[in-house]
Amino acid sequence: MADKVVLAYSGGLDTSVAIRWLKETYGLDTIALTIDVGNEKDIDAVAARARQIGAVKAITVDAREDFLKYFVWPALQANALYEGTYPLATALARPLIAKLLVDVARQEGAVAVAHGCTGKGNDQVRFDVSIMALAPDLKIIAPVREWKLTRDAEIEYAAEHGIPVAATSASPYSVDANLWGRSIEAGVLEDPWSEPPTDVWSWTASPENAPATPAEVVITFNQGVPVALDGETMDAVTLVQKLNALAGAHGVGRIDMIENRLVGIKSREVYEAPAATTLLTAHKALESLALSRDQTRVKDSLAGEYARLIYNGQWFTALHADLMAFISSSQRFVSGDVRLKLHRGQVMVVGRRSPNSLYQHALATYDRGDQFDHNAALGFIALWGLPVKTQAQTQLLTGEAGGAALNQLAGPTLPAPGSTDTPAS
Ligand code: ARG
């Protein structure tokens, strides 16, 4: 019997051609592994297609719940946005898929795993590095990266080998989708100046055509994890699906960015992430009640680190475990409700409450009942300002320049200290 390879199979042209190519090139029998992370596909039809093309076995896994629980929720808790903008949908699914590839390879006694990535993107790095961490002994094959076939040559190869080409292969774009978002690349989008044509969007209404009346939604979090919409508790998958539909209908979650890829190039990326955008906004709003100023500052400084780690394929590292320990500990009081309005592409926080809120009305109010000690402010300011005053006296107001350094900070039109001139108008 031939050696076996486990292929991450999407049902698209690349991985369909790969089934035959792996046999022809490496003499390997393919076990097709199709994983549902919310990519709206008929997964059984995809598996059937794999068998029809020649896979010796086709395995399907519904990983939607695990994807949210172990990959998306930590990223949400961290407020992870790559380069402050991309919610990382594709990047988060890669380590999960790598883990399942390795698990199935072990279970089936395969000698290799394979994926359909090109040699130009981030995903090849994420897959390969994750697999290297989990199973250093497994051979990794990336047929598309190796075969250097143009799309036309691929279609020709498919025709020669009797591989049916799915209608979706006709799309001018490269699309990847899961519950956390949809990514659209290539075609006319490669010109960073041209506006994404309407046919790139499939989850979001255009903000100008979205309903004139905003939708209101209340999201309940338990320790940084969303658990209910409008008071109704639901499972993670349903919650994200509902939010994708609702926020998408109001045009929320369209992203158009120039992204710095790990492999050194800039690329134009278009995303639709209605649920992610909404949940990230809501989560931050709840943290503003539940975390102290210093917790927030330190946590904010780690959000970018965590996003980069996810983007760069470093999921299975000790650094991740270390960051995760901080992030999950930081969430123990992040419970409560956030009220949002979704309107024509915008998500607005209009209310928040938490049983662990650090907001104290008696301290914040300007009305009667104010318990803030106004006299204590005087002592506080004397000490807070002490080093400022000391430095001004000893360095900045003295010498020849006589205050010029400070004056400059206020702009050139203000009079020097002590001068009676009026400022030039
Ligand atoms: N640029 C995104 C990332 O690196 C998405 C990549 C996958 N998108 C695609 N259309 N194939 O995570």
Q: Tell whether 401 is covered by a domain.
A: no
Residue 269 Cβ inside 6 Å of ligand 1? The answer reads yes
Longest dimension (CA), the chain: 97
Same-domain check for residues 189 and 236: yes
Nearest CA residue ID for atom 2, ligand 1: 90
Number of domains in the chain: 2
Centre of ligand 1 from the C-alpha of residue 174, in Å: 8
pTM: 0.93
In this structure, what CATH number is given to the domain that contains residue 102?
3.40.50.620
Catalytic status, residue 322? no
Centre of ligand 1 from the C-alpha of residue 215, in Å: 30
Exposure pattern of 321-351 as b/e (b: 16+ CB <10 Å)? eebeeebeebbebbbbbbbbebbbbbbeeee
User: What are the C-alpha distances in Å from 127 to residues 21, 74, 161, 357, 380?
Assistant: 20, 19, 28, 41, 54
Residue 417 pLDDT level (bands cut at 50, 70, 90):
low
| Final residue of a structural domain among 343, 364, 385 | 364
Over the stretch 333-369, which tens digit does the pLDDT of each residue have?
Answer: 999 999 999 999 999 999 999 999 999 999 999 998 8
Range of the domain at 329: 178-364
Q: Tell whether 310 is covered by a domain.
A: yes
Strand partners, 181: 178
Predicted confidence (pLDDT) at residue 169 exceeds the cutoff of 70: no
Same-domain check for residues 106 and 184: no
Distance CA 285, CA 12 (A): 40
Same-domain check for residues 28 and 153: yes
Q: Tell whether 120 is covered by a domain.
A: yes
Residue 223 Cβ inside 6 Å of ligand 1? The answer reads no
Same-domain check for residues 228 and 344: yes
Mutation probe of ligand 1 site: the residue of 71, 122, 151 with most atoms within 8 A of C-beta: 122
Over the stretch 192-226, which tens digit does the pLDDT of each residue have?
Answer: 999 999 999 999 999 999 999 999 999 999 999 99
Over the stretch 25-60, which tens digit does the pLDDT of each residue have?
Answer: 999 999 999 999 998 679 999 999 999 999 999 999
| Final residue of a structural domain among 156, 171, 186 | 171
User: What are the C-alpha distances in Å from 77 to residues 131, 191, 202?
Assistant: 25, 34, 27
Same-domain check for residues 228 and 110: no
Residue 39 Cβ inside 6 Å of ligand 1? The answer reads no
Q: Tell whether 377 is covered by a domain.
A: no
Same-domain check for residues 241 and 291: yes
In this structure, what CATH number is given to the domain that contains residue 303?
3.90.1260.10
Same-domain check for residues 82 and 215: no
| Final residue of a structural domain among 132, 156, 171 | 171
Mutation probe of ligand 1 site: the residue of 13, 97, 123, 259 with most atoms within 8 A of C-beta: 123
Same-domain check for residues 147 and 67: yes
Q: Please provide the average confidence, as pLDDT, over all residues in the chain.
A: 94
Residue 14 Cβ inside 6 Å of ligand 1? The answer reads no
Centre of ligand 1 from the C-alpha of residue 28, in Å: 28
Q: Tell whether 76 is covered by a domain.
A: yes
Residue 124 Cβ inside 6 Å of ligand 1? The answer reads no
